[in-house]
Amino acid sequence: MSTADGSDRDATATGLYRHADLAPGSVLAGRFRIESMLGVGGMGVVYRATDLALDIQVALKLLRPELMHRPDAFERFRQELLLARQVSSPHVVRIHDLAQHEGRWLISMDFVDGESLDRRLDRDGPFAVDTALRIARQLAEGLRAAHAKGVVHRDLKPANVLLDAQGNAYISDFGVARSLASSGLTQSGAVIGTPDYLSPEQARGEALDARSDLYALGLILYEMLTGKLPFAGGTVSEVLAQRLLRTPPPVTSLRAELPAWIARLVDKLLRPQPAHRFKDAAAVIAALDAKAVPRDGYREGGRAARMRWLGAA
């Protein structure tokens, strides 16, 4: 399947077609010919289109009609362009342009001929170890480029990872990302992102830095290796509460043949406290390349340690 959507897992066919108001053959902004709809994300509807000026396939994200008159929605949509254009990496979907058609705003971007990571996981289950590690490294490369520009994604999840026909990974949808150098659109205490992939500090509505994206990367790697999300089961509140207290069961508890260094890698990505994780994406890449994660003496557990993390002691 050809996609560049980053659409949410729970988007049903009914929900998708309810927003599919542009017929194939329609030309937008005098330049983009709609070929097919790809999906619906939190901020927009995504179509495959032909850029008639350049004669190339692109993906178009249009601000959803019901959000057209919300200034905050448009500002986030515009921000997606401005932030993503700062990031240059072979593993980040490249943004081309911002345009307007009959009062509707759209972003043109690279078309990735493949499918989203969440669809691959839903269909195939756990990945081969080498495949999971290769995708994780490519995602870390994309994050390293974004973080170098002061951009935190804040909603990294399998639906926002696209895989091409060769299995290469691309990070898409910086729609809720915010530059660390700007005041942003959200107020202190606001929680933005998808609950299944929130970092502990994100769940608490605290200030975020690049290490929040590394936590999401750890969740994605855990899922690629085991076919399951850690802390699955229970209500959203119960799952988030578990993240505040501890790392999940080691990946080796679900896949015993995994090398110990991979278990340490995932464990370190998923530490509740950002200071106990890798310091940056470059450190993750170094660990993947060396196939080694030094023991750092950190030990999870103990009521006193948990209470200190929760601010209760």
Angstrom distance (rounded) from CA 122 to CA 214:
22
CB atoms within 10 A of CB 17: 11
Query: Cα dihedral sign for 222, 225, 231, 232?
Result: positive
Strand positions, DSSP E, 41-183: 44-51, 56-63, 95-101, 104-110, 114-116, 151-152, 161-164, 169-171, 178-179
Catalytic residue annotation: 155
Under a CB-based contact definition with an 8 Å cutoff, are residues 190 and 205 in contact?
yes
DSSP state of 182: S
> Closest Cα to residue 1, out of 33, 54, 51, 48?
48
DSSP state of 208: -
Q: How far is CA 256 from the centre of its chain?
A: 28
Strand partners, 162: 116, 170
> Closest Cα to residue 263, out of 249, 274, 277?
249
State the number of CA atoms in the 13 A half-sphere of 159 facing the CB: 17
CB atoms within 10 A of CB 16: 16
Any residues with CB less than 8 A from the CB of 165 and at least 6 apart, and which?
113, 114
